[in-house]
Structure 1
């Protein structure tokens, strides 16, 4: 009897993707695809050199999805992180949820859903509430914007000692750039931190995307404690979700005087930094919950690298607005903005 040599199953030549790095270079767009096995696949992205960054991200995501299907017969989702540099982007790649059923794909082995989100197919009610910092030395002094699910504080369940990474200052710009804004392209959103940067002390993350008349929160991650339970994927009615975002963006009923002053000041300075004859840009506007309360404004030199601004004190203009509550805030802010924008672009007062 002749024994047939047993053939070993061939492993895929390309690992399971877990991340993407996209770079805009003078020679064209380049990608590095990171795999769960520790590998990396690098190459040129097949798009013209002058392709819009959004279209380049779409092409890179499509390429990774196609490779995952071809090599591993699996569908994946790509969620782009907020860019740290204008020429580079990173994305997280995770297994795609099944259509119709939204399993908790963000759970680690052995983890269970938190109780009030056990059924991932239920349409949940989305909410937001503002929480004013109680500690005067907290890193973030803008009010927290905390997500609610069916009226319950989500972060209190999954990161009870953490701080929301979304604050009232994030709701000052265009609605499309707000942390919880949902689009057809998945985005990885930092939900919470430990009053520190998440690269250092960890936090919780989720992928937010719009699918038809639904908004999905999927691919949960806890870099603070991987033993902590994570929710099942969440599904919201898109119309209710958008309406709640709009309501929260317009809500100022929770503000104290220093919060109102900081909001008005940020808006006024955003308008003034568009002036070509003023050589300053806003680095930060911070409410300070001291006694008396104040708003601190940091202005940098237009075009100066941020590292240079932080290292060279003369490059940073710091001004403080005291908020005593004894005069109308709009008039107080108006006079303050006129005073600092009248200063010479080189940093000294106008003679």
Structure 2
């Protein structure tokens, strides 16, 4: 009661529970005081009548709790206002139980509910271990596991709740379960969601070992090829490099994947001259062309287009993780990595490796490195005697929410220096992020590597090359837009439609005369890939910009509805 009264006197309410957690975590707790703290924690979690008081109890249990506390903390975790504090305790006491609470509180999609119910049942003592495993295995392999349903955090919680290593050990010859385990690992490692999720998954190295070691059980299909290639990209230059590997083990796994995917049964999947049966319903149908699409094949055009995109990605990317360049230690290496086009958002990034280790996920767990259109096309990584502030990465939820990773790049004689790092506090920390020491590179080697990365186009698909050429043309000839009172914005390919070039520009009356008036309005012009060579498509787009006002064939994509109506344009975002 004294604690309740004191909270009331201080005005501590439920909305202050995060501050309460930090305060309790920072309390000195000598060994001789731990039994008393445990007794107090249990009393608060069982008899507390306010959120702050119970939160104190849960925060103490995160430090001094024991396995016998798990069932009670589990139940408290189902109370929305206590979920965060309960998860903090369960992640220390029983990560599997914490994963189930997390899924019960956050997995709202009805497609996930059968799996979540099976996982929740598996933590109870009401059924046998064999029955639990059978139910979890059945639902785990049945539910839709695409990026629309599984972000990195949810995938990690599913793997933890399912006790994935134990499940794989119990089913050593189950290719369906193996494929699902690999897909979960790909989703956990998704750089576009949160690179830190893979580093927080303690079983990740073991699951990599199992999936790669048993990959020969998998039938060669386009979907399996994409999954294994995605794992290889993580092991070669992504967050997977940062896991706690025994010496040489990561390299061995990567080599094993390289040998498997080099076999004819796998390489033939993406052979543009091969034949396939698009009506068979398997991902192998990606090899089909337009002749394989239609009512007689049973494959709709959108599905066939997705298959062709994935097959093209595998052809472009298939050997890049295995060349050895990205895994070699020493100095600076810049890898442009395009992810599986059917695998989710943020599938293109500029990975900076120092001595073979990826820099961004090691320092910033909130989002992926920026793409080449930002870091390379604009020359931001080039070094000059004048220091340049560079944003290497931004949190997936925007910099204003969870921050970004910044560094200053400058030339110092025969060296290039990266210094003055700025990043937000790391998850779970109670103070600023630790300082990052300056990095120094040989200037000649640095310049050569940046130039090589800027001119590397092997990773790019046709629409992306068209977008880069359009951007380069507008950079060299800004008057193509200025004459229409417009200036260039972001130019790239659509996140949901990578075969379409998106040209964004800002319109502001009076801009051509040097006297812009009012707030700008943002337009977007969508340019579908028509099959012509990228240079021809880019030249056609630039000619049209020179001859026709782009506001007449573009749509408003930003600004305000009031400004759009004031300038005589329809506002497309009204429901």
Aligned partner of 1:215 in structure 2 is 416
Secondary structure, counterpart of 1:254 in structure 2: coil
Residues 52-72 of structure 1 deviation map (CA, whole Å, 9 limit, x = unaligned)? xxxxxxxxxxxxxxxxxxxxx
Does the 8 Å contact 2:416/2:440 carry over to 1? yes
Instruction: Give the alignment partner of residue 159 of structure 1, picking from 364, 368, 379.
Output: 364
**Which of 137, 142, 146 does residue 351 from structure 2 map onto?**
146
Map of 1:334 onto structure 2: 539
Structure 2 partner of 1:308: 519
Structure 2 CA distance for partners of 1:269 and 1:171, relative to 1, 3 Å: same
Tell me if 1:274 matches 2:475.
no
Deviation at 1:257, TM superposition (A): 1.6
Give 1:227 shift: 5.8
1:180 to 381, 389, 396: 381
Give the match for residue 246 of structure 1: 451
Native 8 Å contact 1:169 1:263 kept in 2: no
SS at match of 2:350: strand
Aligned residue-pair number? 216
Question: More relative contact order in 1 or in 2 (CA 8 Å, sep 6+)?
Answer: 1
Distance 2:375 2:445 in 1: 20
Report the alpha carbon displacement of residue 161 of structure 1 after superposing the two structures with TM: 4.4
Q: In structure 2, how many angstroms separate the alpha carbons of the residues matched to 1:270 and 1:216?
A: 28
Alpha carbons of structure 1 residues 204 and 171: separation in structure 2 relative to 1, 3 Å: closer
- Go from structure 1 to structure 2 and tell me whether the alpha carbon gap of 1:220 and 1:229 turns closer, same or farther (over 3 Å shift): same
Match of 1:203 among 383, 404, 408: 404
The partner residue of 1:261 within 446, 466, 469 is 466
Task: State the match for 2:297 in structure 1.
Answer: none
User: CA shift at 1:292, angstroms?
Assistant: 6.6
Q: By how many angstroms is 1:155 displaced?
A: 1.4
Secondary structure of residue in 2 paired with 1:165: coil
Whole-Å separation in 2 of the counterparts to 1:306 and 1:132: 40
**Distance in 2 between residues matched to 1:191 and 1:172, nearest whole Å:** 14
Partner of 2:376: 171
| Cα shift at 1:237 | 0.6
The 3 A distance-change label for structure 1 pair 280 and 196 is same
Q: Does 1:296 align with 2:502?
A: yes
* TM-score in terms of structure 1 length: 0.53
Structure 2 CA distance for partners of 1:234 and 1:170, relative to 1, 3 Å: closer
Match of 2:391 among 178, 185, 190: 190
Q: Distance in 2 between matches of 1:186 and 1:280?
A: 30
Do structure 1's residue 287 and structure 2's residue 498 form an aligned pair? no
Q: CA RMSD for the aligned pairs? A: 3.3
Mapping of residues 9-88 of structure 1, within 5 Å: none
Would the alpha carbon gap of residues 273 and 184 (structure 1) be closer, same or farther in structure 2, given more than 3 Å must change?
closer
Tell me, in whole angstroms, the C-alpha distance in 2 between the residues paired with 1:219 and 1:186. 11
The more displaced of 294-303 and 146-155 is 294-303
Shift of 1:262: 1.0
For 1:305 and 1:134, locate their aligned partners in 2 and report how far apart those are by CA, in whole Å.
42
C-alpha distance in structure 2 between counterparts of 1:127 and 1:231, whole Å? 19
1:56-98 Cα distance to aligned partner (Å, 9 max, x none) = xxxxxxxxxxxxxxxxxxxxxxxxxxxxxxxxxxxxxxxxxxx
In the TM superposition, residue 137 of structure 1 has moved relative to its aligned partner by 7.1
Instruction: Give 1:149 shift.
Output: 0.4
Structure 1: how far apart are the matches of 2:539 and 2:469? 9
Give yes or no for contact 2:330–2:355 (8 Å, CA) kept in 1: yes
Q: 1:306 to 1:284 in 2, by over 3 A?
A: farther
Question: Per-residue deviation at 1:305?
Answer: 5.9
* TM-score normalised by the chain length of structure 2: 0.34
| In structure 2, distance between residues paired with 1:341 and 1:157 | 45
SS in 1 for 2:479: coil
Which protein is bigger by CA-based radius of gyration?
2
Structure with greater helix percent: 2
CA distance in 2, matches of 1:210, 1:287: 33
